[in-house]
Amino acid sequence: MPPRKSTGDTTTSPTSKPSRNSLSNSLAVEDLSLPRSMIQRLAKGVLPANTQVQKDALLALCKSATVFVSYLANSANDRAVLANKKTVRPEDVLEALAELEFEGFVGRCERELSSEFVYFLCDVSGRNEWELECMADFLVRV
């Protein structure tokens, strides 16, 4: 009969999961991977109708998207740290895109950000009076 967990051997076996601290030191692309279903949905959205995406192609898309997002997030974080900020802002991401020579994405990202922001401002359901007053003040200044 194996020993009880509370009184048993405290050494880790090869089948036990590593602790949370050891995971932060050894992250791989697979650990940070974006959801395959989302990548597949995005890929099918830009491809012509009735186009199939092979399993290996989807895996390549997932890995490359994960690497790109990680690289961009790291670069944007570096820009925020250089500005003595603790929060990565959209401006940091746009500047990082330009710095990483992805200027072609900047215009589209700015348009997407502004449309999402306008949608956020227009969606007034569930907001309290103070939030509505702040949004009105912002719209007057713009």
pLDDT tens per residue, range 82-120: 999 989 988 899 999 999 999 998 988 888 787 766 666
Report residue 3 as tokens: 């020993």
Q: How far apart are CA 61 and CA 141, in angstroms?
A: 42
Q: Write phi, then psi, for 34 (nearest 5 degrees).
A: -75, 155
pLDDT tens per residue, range 124-141: 566 666 666 666 665 555
H-helix or E-strand spanning residue 21: helix 20-25
Q: Which residue type sits at 37?
A: S
Residue 142 banded pLDDT, cuts 50, 70, 90: very low
Q: pLDDT: is 11 or 126 the higher one? A: 126
The answer to whether residues 46 and 65 touch, using CB atoms and an 8 Å cutoff, is no
